[in-house]
Structure 1
Amino acid sequence: MLTGLLLLSTGFVSYGQQSICHGTATSVYKVDALENGGLGTIGSVYVWTVLNTGFSGTIGYVNPPSTNQVTVNWGNTPPGTYTIQVQEKDAVSGCLGPVQQLTVDLKSAPQPNLADTVACVNPVTGVLVDPVLLNSGVPQAGNTFLWTLNNVPLSGNSNTLVATQPGNYAVTVTHTATGCSGTDTATIGVSSVAVAYAVVKEAFELYQAITVTVTQGSGDYEYQLNDGPFQSEPVFYVNKSGSYTINVRDTRGCGEVPLKVNVLNYPRYFTPNGDSYHDTWNITGLPNPEKAKITIFDRYGKVIKQISPKGRGWDGTYNGNPLPSTDYWFVLDYYEDGVQKEFKAHFSMKR
């Protein structure tokens, strides 16, 4: 025989109505707590039901095969009034005993909604460039707010928080009238613009590598050569002299930094045949070209021509007379970063 509906989750006997907050995971209910060592009447089965159609949770037995104690998982059941019903069923006759009901008032609870975000920091000091506004999404009136950073309570009782450092934030909102509360969390990660430099390896090689090295910064970076597409690898290969710009961009929106490099190279051949394509030979894109000079020799070491990188270049003649198709040598004297340098190599003339 049913002897009472005991609400174990709060530890008191309730025969009529219970109030709980929406978002409560489970409640435990028990009947005939004094029978058979707490397992209910011998030979009886208890039939449990939540009568309302809005119930979207589950009912499970605590100590099967005993059925006198259940857990009700309210799941995503919306706030409202629900009725839990239990009947004792005789195992022999199958007859159902008296109905016992408990009305459950599932009260609405605040539902704060925080969003993870990324804050931009100074790449050297790590200090936030701008504070981040966290908004609970819950009205100020009728609620109290407890904010924490990395589980440490913060001062203030506002529905928003101005965060000045990264970390794991949480807000617990409590409705002052019902006492129901809800909690949400958000992580403020960090990113930054890069501190970086670019170098060109193996000057005058046919293909030269421009390599970017990031020395400071907490971002995820991608790289762009001049106006080309961005890529994840910090290396570019070029084969033409000139000034290049590499943009280093933070993929999470904290800005980009331009880096400039100068690539030194020379033409491997020229074709002085009057078609306006490769008719002269010269080296362009040198730093301080007004200080540079190029001396051209034949294979026997005879000086053929001395030219300036700022000039028209060599047209393949000596004293106005065309020279034969063959290889010619040169010595380049130039200045880079204030240092005088010399480079020697050869090229081909093809008529």
Structure 2
Amino acid sequence: MNKDQVVYTVRATSPNGCVSPLSPAYVVIRSGSAAQISYSSPDPFSPNPSVTITNTGYGQYVYSFDNGPILNNNGQFTSVPLGAHSVTVWDIKGGENSCPERSISVAETIDFPHFLTPNGDGVNDTWNILGLSGRQGVKIYIFDRHGKLLKELIPSSPGWDGTYNGNPLPATDYWFEVQYPDIFGNTLVYRDHFSLKR
């Protein structure tokens, strides 16, 4: 028996002393608090983006990622595509007094090309951050190895073509900084580098 269950039996006695047989056992399950849902995910720039949903409420839960199929996967989502996402959580036992569905917004995944090859072939001819194109307030800065600012971008722009003042820059590594608001409005900063190949 579960520690949250209590078994009751009933025996009735009439005023004139007649006693009924013992009733069948009734199991009463104590209800817990409402579901408390939280999530965790690695750095938004992780090469293997995943999201883990944690639910500390009572019940048996299933999950839907971005309105996709309903899964009984313990809240584990791997290979999360770029962008912002939502997860819907259902208690499969539901019922009138339960909260049958809860939706939360979860972390986004973001990526960047590791190479820029501006040779006109249509592949990696420009460089930009991936996964933030619809986000407002994003700033992207590109620097040379000495820290000189070469270009400021926004995600919806075509990107950087490997030039400075119209002149092609040499093949080497370049550094970037992206400042962006997360889904809660906090400004996050990420720095890394990529290679320009000619």
Structure 2 length normalisation: TM-score? 0.67
Q: Is the 8 A contact 1:264 1:285 kept in 2?
A: yes
Residue 230 (1) aligns with residue 71 (2)? yes
Is the contact between residue 223 and residue 234 of structure 1 (CA under 8 Å) also seen in structure 2?
A: yes
* Larger relative strand fraction: 1
* Mapping for residues 6-25 of structure 1, pairs under 5 Å: none
Deviations 1:119-149 (A, max 9, x none): xxxxxxxxxxxxxxxxxxxxxxxxxxxxxx8
Alignment match of 1:256 (pick from 91, 101, 120): 101
| Aligned equivalent of 1:76 | none
Q: Residue 220 of structure 1 aligns to which amino acid in structure 2?
A: Q
Do the aligned partners of residues 305 and 228 (structure 1) sit closer, same or farther apart at CA in structure 2, a change above 3 Å counting? farther
Taking every aligned residue pair, what percent have the same amino acid on both sides?
Answer: 36
Gapped regions of structure 1 (runs ≥ 5): 1-148, 155-171, 173-180
Aligned residues: 176
CA–CA separation in structure 1 for the residues paired with 2:150 and 2:69: 40
Structure 1 match to 2:8: 150
Could you say if the C-alpha distance between residues 339 and 210 of structure 1 is closer, same or farther in structure 2, counting changes exceeding 3 Å? same
Query: CA 1:325/1:281 → structure 2, altered by over 3 Å: closer, same or farther?
Result: same
Match for 1:331: what amino acid?
A: E
Task: Indicate the structure whose relative CO is greater, using CA pairs within 8 Å and at least 6 residues apart.
Answer: 2
The answer to whether the 8 A contact 1:328-1:349 is kept is yes
Equivalent-residue separation in structure 1 for 2:164 and 2:158 (angstroms):
15
Provide the secondary structure at the position in 2 that maps to 1:211. Answer: strand
Write the distance in 2 (CA, Å) between the matches of 1:222 and 1:268: 35
**Cα–Cα, structure 1 residues 231 and 201, in superposed 2: closer, same or farther, change >3 Å?**
same
Equivalent position SS for 2:56 = strand
Code of the residue aligned with 2:151 in structure 1: it is K
Distance 1:253 1:284, change over 3 A: same
Between the aligned partners of 1:348 and 1:291, the Cα distance in structure 2 is 26
Q: Distance in 1 between matches of 2:46 and 2:73?
A: 24
Q: 2:187 matched to 1:340?
A: yes
TM normalised by structure 1 equals 0.41
Mapped to 2, the partners of 1:272 and 1:201 lie a distance apart of 32
SS at match of 2:45: coil
- 2:155 and 2:125 map into 1 onto residues whose CA distance is 15
Secondary structure at 2:128 match in 1: coil
CA distance in 2, matches of 1:252, 1:300: 60
Structure number with bigger Rg: 1
**For 1:313 and 1:232, how far apart are their aligned partners in 2?**
38
What residue number does 1:246 align with?
A: 87
- CA gap of 1:248–1:271, structure 2 versus 1, over 3 A, is farther
Output the amino acid matched with 2:139: K
Shift of 1:292: 2.2
Q: 1:251 to 1:266 in 2, by over 3 A?
A: same
**Which of these residues, 144, 147, 152, is aligned with residue 301 of structure 1?**
147
